[in-house]
């Protein structure tokens, strides 16, 4: 009966994942002749800023994927631009913070807690502060308009757990030559998997509103709306590139692993990638439905600008300030370091251990050395080259310093479980607290406490796990905790 109920809940969960929770409109109908900013944020500029020290929730979720790419100079510049946009609002603005990430796609995302994440490849491609301000203004507009009241956190957590389950519960699969290498490959694969679940699913109407409020903020802050139009042009380019490959591929890393059924990863995870791949395909299909084509968005924005800003002054695009930071030799070396980290990971997936280590070493000699993704690439490369001791010593230091990716914490945990269960339990507990009671760690905590004969803790943790699993209809989580409890 319980299994039937759970199966039904699981099915409901999958169906629920297929539809975005619709935000209640909640806003009164507005005069279509008003700009968005006049409709919702009328009043003179207050000249105030509110840059968050940290946006904990979204940062934690981002760490479950590729993490962020901290760089003092770049971070300051990004948030100076955000501050300039905030000053044009009446009253105190909603708190937010901009981060660079080590992702390679041409997109960006913002979240309910004000976290705004921009891939370094975007920063490398833009050419003016106005374009950057247009991008940040668009993402910040989502925060101001409270567009993120969806169940994305549950969706991301479910997907992350599915990916994490591949990783944690892959014991007992068909025999593989090197257990550690198998885990590293799964780790590599699931990083990308987790990133998909983090993209917020917003409606067309929300994207259009953010386009419009974004240019309102841009112009009020003294930037040129040509920056917004230039950015839209780049988005059209990105869409064209993606369309070109749409017919030829599904999930990239799965295609790689499909090269041969004898590949170590294919043997290790035994068809579970198909399940994960189906979820990803569904998510990507839904994302496509929720966005207008690039040229439609550009046309709509052009019409809005003509309606409200036809006679507005058009300042010169601010190219020099942008180049002074994002095209500086230091930033170029930083971006190059991230490229090298990606190259190391790519070589790893091709099982070219020597090349992976070569690139990883270059990456840690660059200004990107302290980026968690760079550390991840080095640790994986060292392990693949038979230097497990060095790798895990490094990983332990990174975990202790709180700069490891979440998946790498799980990797260390898996290793410690074999050699030192007490240390493993301490790590699991710290990680659980650090990652806001991450559900992926509950099965591990149950298993380790059981090993240490902490029966009361086992029951307590199992109770928490069952509660979370049932409330989020997450049968995979419940199954893992059942298995851990025995």
Partner 1 sequence: MTRPIPFCAWAMLLLGSAAVNAAPQNVTALHDDPLSIYELKVDYFVQSERLAGSQIRLPLTVLEESGKGYVKVQLQDRQVWLDSMDVNIHPPKGIGTSGCIATYNDASTKAARGAGESCR
Among 196, 218, 364, 476, binds partner 1 (CB under 8 A): 196
Residue 299 phi/psi, 5° resolution?
-65, -40
| Closest CB to partner 1 among residues 187, 195 | 195
Among 12, 34, 205, 246, binds partner 1 (CB under 8 A): 246
Q: Is 40 in the site for partner 1 (CB under 8 A)?
A: no
Residue 307 phi/psi, 5° resolution?
-70, -45
> From CA 73, how far away is CA 77, in angstroms rounded?
6
Q: How far is the CB of 44 from partner 1 (least distance, A)?
A: 27
Query: Which DSSP helix (H) or strand (E) runs through 360?
Result: helix 353-364
CB 57 within 8 A of CB 359: no
Q: Give the single-character DSSP code of 32.
A: T
With CA atoms as reference, report the closest residue to 132 among 318, 298, 302: 318
> From CA 264, how far away is CA 267, in angstroms rounded?
5
Q: How many residues bind partner 1 (CB under 8 A)?
A: 74
Q: How far is the CB of 345 from partner 1 (least distance, A)?
A: 7
Considering only residues 339-358, where is the footprint of partner 1 by CB under 8 A?
339-340, 342-343, 345-347, 349-350
Q: Is 37 in the site for partner 1 (CB under 8 A)?
A: no
Considering only residues 255-274, where is the footprint of partner 1 by CB under 8 A?
255-256, 258-259, 274
Residue 109 phi/psi, 5° resolution?
-150, 150
Q: How many C-beta atoms surround the C-beta of residue 267 within 10 A?
A: 16
Burial 380-418 (b: 16+ CB within 10 A, else e): bbbbbbeebeebbebbbebbeeebbbbbbbbbbbbbbbe
Among 2, 25, 26, 249, binds partner 1 (CB under 8 A): 249
Among 55, 110, 162, 195, binds partner 1 (CB under 8 A): 195
Considering only residues 92-111, where is the footprint of partner 1 by CB under 8 A?
101-107, 109
Q: Is 433 in the site for partner 1 (CB under 8 A)?
A: no
Q: Is 311 in the site for partner 1 (CB under 8 A)?
A: no
Strand partners, 110: 116
Q: How far is the CB of 102 from partner 1 (least distance, A)?
A: 8
| Closest CB to partner 1 among residues 202, 411 | 202
Q: Is 250 in the site for partner 1 (CB under 8 A)?
A: yes
Among 140, 280, 334, 384, binds partner 1 (CB under 8 A): 280
> From CA 230, how far away is CA 236, in angstroms rounded?
10
Q: How far is the CB of 58 from partner 1 (least distance, A)?
A: 15
Among 59, 66, 82, 364, binds partner 1 (CB under 8 A): 66
Q: Is 51 in the site for partner 1 (CB under 8 A)?
A: no
Interaction pattern, residues 353-392, with partner 1; x per rule: CB under 8 A: ------x---------------------------------
Among 154, 158, 162, 251, binds partner 1 (CB under 8 A): 251
With CA atoms as reference, report the closest residue to 164 among 175, 156, 172: 156
CB 367 within 8 A of CB 330: yes
> From CA 180, how far away is CA 202, in angstroms rounded?
39
267 is written with which tokens? 């043997």
| Closest CB to partner 1 among residues 99, 359 | 359
Q: How far is the CB of 204 from partner 1 (least distance, A)?
A: 13
Burial 192-201 (b: 16+ CB within 10 A, else e): bbbbbbbbbb
| Closest CB to partner 1 among residues 244, 456 | 244
Q: Is 1 in the site for partner 1 (CB under 8 A)?
A: no
377 is written with which tokens? 């690439």
Q: Is 125 in the site for partner 1 (CB under 8 A)?
A: yes
Q: Is 151 in the site for partner 1 (CB under 8 A)?
A: no
| Closest CB to partner 1 among residues 347, 478 | 347
> From CA 346, how far away is CA 342, in angstroms rounded?
6
Q: Is 199 in the site for partner 1 (CB under 8 A)?
A: yes
> From CA 439, how far away is CA 158, in angstroms rounded?
9
| Closest CB to partner 1 among residues 6, 122 | 122
Considering only residues 315-334, where is the footprint of partner 1 by CB under 8 A?
315-317, 319
> From CA 154, how far away is CA 159, in angstroms rounded?
8
Q: How far is the CB of 101 from partner 1 (least distance, A)?
A: 8
Alpha-carbon 168 to chain mean position: 20
């Amino acid at each position: 009966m319980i299994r039937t109920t759970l199966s039904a809940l699981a099915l409901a969960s999958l169906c629920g994942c297929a539809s975005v929770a619709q935000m209640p409109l909640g806003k009164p109908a507005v005069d279509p002749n008003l700009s968005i900013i006049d409709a919702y944020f009328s009043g003179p500029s207050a000249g105030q800023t509110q840059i968050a020290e940290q946006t904990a929730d979204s940062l934690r979720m981002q760490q479950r994927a590729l993490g962020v790419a901290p760089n003092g100079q770049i971070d300051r510049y990004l948030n100076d631009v955000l501050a300039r946009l905030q000053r044009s609002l009446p009253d105190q603005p909603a708190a937010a913070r901009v981060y660079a990430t080590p992702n390679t796609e041409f997109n960006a995302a913002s979240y309910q807690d004000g976290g705004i994440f921009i891939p370094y490849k975007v920063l490398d491609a833009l050419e003016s502060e106005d374009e950057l301000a247009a991008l940040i203004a668009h993402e910040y507009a989502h925060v101001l308009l409270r567009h993120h009241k969806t169940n994305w956190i549950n969706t991301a957590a479910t997907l992350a757990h599915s990916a994490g389950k591949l990783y944690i519960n892959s014991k007992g699969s068909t025999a593989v030559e090197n257990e550690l290498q198998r885990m590293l490959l799964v780790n590599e694969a699931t990083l990308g998997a987790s990133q998909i679940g983090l993209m917020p699913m917003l409606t067309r109407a929300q994207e259009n509103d953010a386009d419009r409020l974004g240019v309102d903020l841009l112009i009020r802050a003294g930037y040129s709306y040509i920056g917004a139009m230039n950015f839209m042009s780049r988005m059209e380019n990105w869409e064209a590139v993606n369309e070109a490959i749409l017919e030829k591929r599904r999930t990239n890393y799965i295609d790689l692993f499909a090269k041969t059924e004898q590949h170590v990863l294919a043997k290790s995870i035994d068809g579970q990638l198909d399940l994960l791949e189906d979820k990803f395909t569904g998510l990507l299909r839904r994302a496509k439905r929720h966005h207008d084509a690039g040229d439609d968005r550009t046309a709509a924005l052009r019409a809005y600008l003509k309606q409200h800003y036809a006679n507005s002054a058009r300042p010169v695009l601010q190219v020099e300030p942008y180049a002074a930071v994002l095209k500086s030799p230091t930033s170029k070396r930083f971006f190059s370091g991230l490229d090298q980290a990606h190259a190391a990971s790519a070589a790893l997936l091709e099982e070219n251990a020597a090349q992976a280590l070569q690139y990883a070493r270059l990456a840690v000699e660059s200004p990107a050395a302290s980026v968690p993704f760079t550390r991840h690439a080095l640790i994986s490369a060292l392990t693949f080259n038979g230097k497990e001791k060095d790798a895990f010593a490094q990983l332990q230091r990174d975990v202790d310093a709180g700069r490891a990716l979440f998946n790498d914490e799980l990797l260390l945990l898996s290793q410690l479980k074999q050699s030192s269960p007490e240390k493993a339990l301490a790590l699991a507990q710290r990680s659980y607290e650090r990652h806001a009671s991450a559900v992926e760690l509950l099965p591990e905590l149950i298993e380790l406490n059981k090993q240490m004969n902490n029966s009361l803790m086992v029951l307590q943790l199992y109770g928490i796990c069952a509660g979370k699993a049932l409330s989020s209809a997450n049968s995979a989580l419940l199954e893992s905790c059942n298995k851990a409890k025995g």
